[in-house]
Structure 1
Amino acid sequence: MKKLLLASALTALTFSAAHAADAVAYEPAPVAATAYDWSGFYFGAHAGYGWGDYTPFSPADGNTGPNIDVDGFVGGLTAGYNWQFDSVVLGVEADISNGPDGKRARGTNGPDWSCNTGDCNVDIEWFGTVRGRLGYAVDRFLVYGTGGFAFGHVEGGIRNSDQQGGGSATGWAAGAGVEFAWNQHWTTKAEYLHVDLGDIPFGADDDGGSFKGDGSFDVFRLGINYKF
């Protein structure tokens, strides 16, 4: 009888140990947190500082004015879309901003900043870009390069003369930036862009042609985006 009870106890103990081992072996592992997904549409705002250098000139007679510095606050709106492939992020982005403050234009050929017959000025009234983005993501951190089409509206020339005028201008923009995702919807970024709008249009020169400005400007800005 004692042998039968001992055998039964050993059998029960063995079964319980095997069942416990199975429970441990087949208990599902905890699910790891997924990496951030940069794919999707986003919309945001940006603000920063722009600075540049322009030289008014007349293509007809080859005359040039002084170098004129433009600088000041820039700010505007941004929209774009990203596609993520493993760690590679491809995107397209468009933005529009006010330009560097033309009221702070300064010539360098004399204390009155003159262009022979009057005071020179350059004003990037507003500009925009449509650019591609190529980046590398490490979870919530993204570093990227960007480049594409730039456009804007400008004014300048010689004040109070036929050579004062303005119009639309087109060119290119390129730069780089870093972006960080705070959660699934909100990201912030720091970005540098070089913007070249080509020879920007002013008024008429002395020979009835077009008076222009040659130069470019740079922008450093911070942005915040909401990803849908």
Structure 2
Amino acid sequence: MTKYLLATALVGLGSAPTIAADLAARPYTKAPALAAVYDWTGFYIGVNAGVGVGRDRTQHQPLPGQNYSLYLQPQGGLGGGQIGYNWQTNSVLGPIVFGVEADIQGAGLSDDRTNLNFAGGLLTNYSQELDWFGTVRGRVGLAKGPVLSYVTAGFAYGNVNTTITQSGPGPVPVTFSTDRTQGGWVVGSGVEAALGGNWTGKIEHLYLNLGNRTDFAGPLFFPSNVNTEIRQNIFRAGLNYRIGGNSNYQPVAAANWSGFYLGGNFGSGYGRDRSALSVLGPFVDTFNLGLDGFIGGVQAGYNWQAANWVFGLEADIQGATLQDDKTCVLGCGLAGVSAAYDATLPWFGTVRGRLGYSVGSTLFYATGGLAYGSIKTKINTNSFVGPVTQSFSHTNTGWTAGAGIETPFSLLGLLGPNWTTKTEYLYVDLGSTSDSFIFGAVPATTTRSVTEHVFRTGINYHFNSPVVAKY
């Protein structure tokens, strides 16, 4: 899991706003001074809502010699509350904030679409749910007045329900089910910014590792071990009330966001590509391809502003390492029959509108529009004719929607007031693909619906520099 730690740490630290005084070489309009220096120290309580997607690799032998490798991917909405405490101290880098936070979440994350049917003889259905979870985490971040960029890590726990149902050689289906609370760890990053008074808003990504589990599925037709890795990606926005905080804080005049900008970004992506393999028509396996990896690219845009409201257009292009080369369905060893997938999303791009509201020099925005990208699917098949590789490539269009926070940025005082940083979440839907081929000596069709969750941070250079407040 090293790459998850690296990705979330880079996303959090990369989204840090200004951490040193702005260079004076480039003139800009100075915003009105604050009534008091913003201090993050103190208790807070709040609520949050978002979405989650699992990537729970499962290995199972429904028949002797048959080795399925698949991803169960519970997905859905979530919401809950959090409580925490911050301590702010000064350092050579600027104000550093240390904190502790605990949260509890209700969740509707579920996946019951995985059905594996070998030669029509034995149908195995997999269902998994995460109905609640919680975390207790430490936080450390860099503060620039009323904007805090942070990384977070700690303990995680949650309730996981898994059910496997088999039907075929017998009068009625047989079922195996487990329902247990598991513990593990969590790591993530986010950005939090003041909204005025004691209120703050945040956007964050958490990666939950709830451990591995091995269950003996005894009640099934063919008793066997089921090995599952419980992993969840959480994307959420939150609202906090700071108890005894800067109640006299009022945002400075809105920054000037108008004009062209150009920048780059880096982040991570997680796919839940609902897929199917049909052989001879009625014999169909339905399953998920669980892509994950890193993304990076460039963006350009233009903003128009009316008072605090900001309207914009942005286009970006991304290179990606998103891949799933673990999924194997059909026989996977039984009688030498198998279909092992290697699915990738090597690049994608978006053209989006943005609608935002500037609270001082912090821009909160929603975004949505066109998405497009390259979809590649390789299937390594094995049958009585021996191993054969099937390769398919498509460029699809679809849609995207998301939200983010953008703030001033100055890397250790090396960048001037024209620079900003943003942290954002995007949901990308690239539609479906369908490909036909010959499996052994019979016709087969594979389909794939491509949906990705993206969490990324970026820096922008504004050719018409925004107003930057001094703290």
Q: Same fold (TM over 0.5)?
A: yes
* Aligned with 1:142 (options 347, 352, 363): 363
Aligned partners of 1:108 and 1:120: how far apart in 2?
A: 6
CA contact (8 A) 2:422 2:457 kept: yes
| 8 Å Cα contact 1:163-1:211 kept in structure 2 | no
Cα deviation, residue 164, structure 1: 2.3
Counterpart of 1:154 in structure 2 is: 375
What amino acid is the match of 1:204?
S
Q: Does 1:224 align with 2:462?
A: no
In structure 2, stretches of 5+ residues that fail to align are 1-29, 33-252, 382-387, 410-415, 464-471
Pair 149,113 (structure 1): closer, same or farther in 2 beyond 3 Å: farther
In the alignment, structure 1 segments of 5+ residues that lack a partner are 1-30
**Higher percent of residues as helix:** 1
SS at match of 1:121: strand
Q: Which of 105, 115, 118 does residue 325 from structure 2 map onto?
A: 105
**Compared with structure 1, are the counterparts of its residues 166 and 177 closer, same or farther at alpha carbon in structure 2 (3 Å cutoff)?**
same
TM-score by length of 2: 0.38
Root-mean-square deviation (CA, aligned residues, Å) is: 2.9
Asked if 1:126 corresponds to 2:347, the answer is yes
| Larger mean Cα displacement after TM superposition, 42-51 or 92-101 | 92-101
Question: Within 5 A, what are the aligned runs for 1:1-228?
Answer: 33=32, 35-57=254-276, 61=281, 63-102=284-323, 104-107=324-327, 109=329, 117-159=338-380, 161=388, 163-182=390-409, 184-200=417-433, 203-206=435-438, 211-228=446-463
TM-score computed with the length of structure 1 as normaliser: 0.74
Q: Which has the higher contact order (CA 8 A, sep 6+)?
A: 1
AA at the equivalent of 1:170: T
Q: How far 1:181 sits from its partner (Å)?
A: 2.1
- After TM superposition, which residue ranges in structure 1, 4 or more long, deviate above 3 angstroms? 31-35, 58-62, 108-114, 160-163, 205-211
Q: CA deviation at 1:132?
A: 0.3
Q: Residue 121 and residue 113 in structure 1: after superposition, are their counterparts in 2 closer, same or farther (change >3 A)?
A: farther
- Displacement of 1:38 after TM fit? 0.2
AA in 2 matched with 1:151? Y
Please state how far the C-alpha of 1:72 moved relative to its aligned partner: 0.6
Q: Structure 1 residue 98: deviation in Å?
A: 1.6
> SS of the residue aligned with 1:130?
strand
Distance in 2 separating the partners of 1:150 and 1:113: 38
Deviations 1:82-110 (A, max 9, x none): 001000000000001123422x4332759
Higher mean C-alpha deviation, range 172-181 or range 52-61: 52-61
Query: Paired residue for 1:22?
Result: none
More strand per residue: 2
Aligned residues: 195
Conserved? CA contact 1:113–1:119, under 8 Å? no
Displacement of 1:167: 1.3
